[in-house]
């Protein structure tokens, strides 16, 4: 049996989470550097002409090796379900998928997998666990020949790991992790404008020195076996997972709250307690407390709606969900491992 995969889908009553996702696909260019073409002209008087030729050669080389950029896509945000887009698999669809940066893999319902005629490997099972860390179930690995988003012809460069699960709500066909399906490209989630777009991080890399006004460019931290986007918090030596699949603002266990200096006795009445169930069928409790302020580098997220999670597994990360991310255009650069927060 393979190691557990966690899918973080916070949809009020439905939550996927747990240990880090296990995916073996990595972008080729993330493991190598582009070869440089260098030489010297034989005659000094031909130097300008040679440099023009050299630059032209480099541009042709880069163009040939770079994947075509998919078109921009609009998403709609639905309370309790997340950032929804239309997806086509194997030229069938459209299917409704939630864009979830915290997933670590693409997950699809059994009914959609069968309708799309995915190749399902019956002997390749991956455990899928919930936020509680209990009652995990086995999902089957699958492969798609093509995956398009927004329109049938807008194909993405990679499919990534696809897991077939039978526990999704009837109005959701799957969950899409943009880090995996856009690889090796970077991507931008513009929360205020509700658009999802791609860029080539070799041509337009993020730089820490080029932070936007009132924003920040910070390191993209990985966990041990996935590329889910974590950022370092400036207090308590903690880090948080940027999770567009979560409807929370800032959500964490009591222990994590204490390490951030958030006092548990700031809880309000019992009317702020919400019972929820994760994808594995186990229950957990989210209790809303007073808003908190957290720092990511020089960027202050002030008065973020904050929940304390009870019944969550010990390995569950601190989450920064949509209620914290709404003001920002978020740019994810997998090549340089940087994330930009640009207030809109």
What value does the mean pLDDT of the chain take?
Answer: 78
229: domain CATH number is 2.40.70.10
Q: Do 186 and 222 have their domain in common?
A: no
Range of the domain at 139: 5-19+69-199
Whole-angstrom distance, CA of residue 208 vs CA of residue 170: 42
Q: Are residues 176 and 230 in the same domain?
A: no
Residues 237, 88 share a domain: no
CA pair distance 191, 174, nearest whole angstrom: 20
Entry pTM: 0.79
Domain boundary among 177, 199, 221: 199
Q: Among residues 166, 182, 199, which one ends one of the domains?
A: 199
Task: Assess whether 214 and 335 both reside in one domain.
Answer: yes
In this prediction, what percent of the chain has a pLDDT beyond 90?
52
Look at residues 199, 233, 251 and tell me which one is the last residue of a structural domain: 199
Rounded average pLDDT over 153-181 = 89
Cα–Cα distance, 179 to 223 (Å, whole number): 14
pLDDT of residue 326 exceeding 80 = yes
Task: Note whether 180 and 227 are same-domain residues.
Answer: no
Q: Is the pLDDT of residue 168 over 70?
A: yes
Confidence at residue 32, expressed as pLDDT on a 0 to 100 scale: 36
239 and 327 together in one domain: yes
Q: Residues 214, 334: one domain?
A: yes
Look at residue 255 in the predicted model and tell me its pLDDT: 87
The CA-CA-CA angle for residues 224, 258, 316, to 5°, reads 30
Whether residue 35 lies inside any domain: the answer is no
Whether residues 110 and 248 share a domain: the answer is no
Residue 177 near residue 162, CB atoms below 8 Å: no
The tens digit of pLDDT for each residue in 19-76 reads 333 333 333 333 333 332 233 333 344 434 433 433 343 444 444 456 689 999 999 9
Residues 6+ apart with CB under 8 A from 14: 169, 276, 277, 278, 279
**Selected residue with higher pLDDT from 187 and 16:** 187
pLDDT digits (tens, 9 = 90+) for 275-298: 665 555 567 788 899 999 999 989
CB atoms within 10 A of CB 172: 22
Task: Output the CA angle 223-102-251, nearest 5 degrees.
Answer: 95
**Higher pLDDT residue, 139 or 156?**
156
| Total domains present in the chain | 2
Sign of CA dihedral 229, 233, 239, 243: negative
Is 216 within a domain?
A: yes
pLDDT of residue 262: 86
């Amino acid at each position: 049996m393979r190691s557990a995969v966690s899918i973080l889908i916070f949809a009020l009553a439905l939550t996927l989470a747990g240990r880090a996702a296990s995916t073996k696909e990595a972008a080729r260019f993330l493991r190598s550097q582009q070869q440089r073409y260098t030489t010297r002209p034989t005659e000094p008087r031909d130097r300008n002409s040679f440099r023009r030729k050299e630059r032209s050669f480099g541009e042709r080389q880069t163009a040939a090796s770079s994947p075509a950029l998919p078109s921009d896509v609009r998403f709609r945000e639905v309370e309790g379900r997340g950032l929804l887009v239309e997806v086509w698999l194997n030229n069938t669809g459209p299917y409704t998928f939630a864009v979830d940066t915290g997933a670590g893999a693409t997950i699809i319902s059994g009914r959609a997998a069968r309708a799309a005629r995915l190749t399902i490997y019956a002997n390749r099972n991956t455990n899928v666990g919930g936020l509680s860390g209990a009652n995990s179930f086995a999902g089957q690995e699958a492969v798609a020949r093509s995956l398009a988003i927004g329109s049938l012809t807008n194909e993405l460069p990679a499919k990534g790991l696809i897991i077939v699960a039978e526990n999704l709500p009837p109005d959701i066909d799957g969950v899409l992790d943009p880090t995996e399906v856009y690889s090796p490209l970077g991507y931008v989630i513009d929360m205020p404008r509700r658009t999802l777009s791609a860029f080539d991080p070799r041509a337009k890399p993020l730089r820490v020195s080029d932070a936007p006004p009132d924003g920040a460019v910070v390191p993209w931290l990985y966990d041990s076996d996935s590329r889910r986007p974590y950022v370092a918090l400036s207090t308590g030596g903690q880090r948080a997972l940027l999770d567009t699949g979560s409807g929370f603002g800032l959500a964490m266990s009591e222990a994590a709250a204490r390490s951030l200096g958030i006092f548990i006795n700031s809880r309000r009445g019992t009317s702020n307690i919400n019972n929820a169930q994760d994808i594995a069928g186990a229950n957990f409790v989210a209790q809303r407390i007073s808003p908190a302020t957290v720092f990511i580098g020089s960027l202050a997220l002030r008065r973020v709606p904050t929940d304390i999670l009870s019944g969550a597994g010990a390995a569950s990360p601190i989450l920064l969900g949509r209620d914290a991310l709404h003001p920002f255009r978020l740019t994810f650069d997998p090549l340089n491992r940087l994330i930009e927060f640009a207030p809109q």
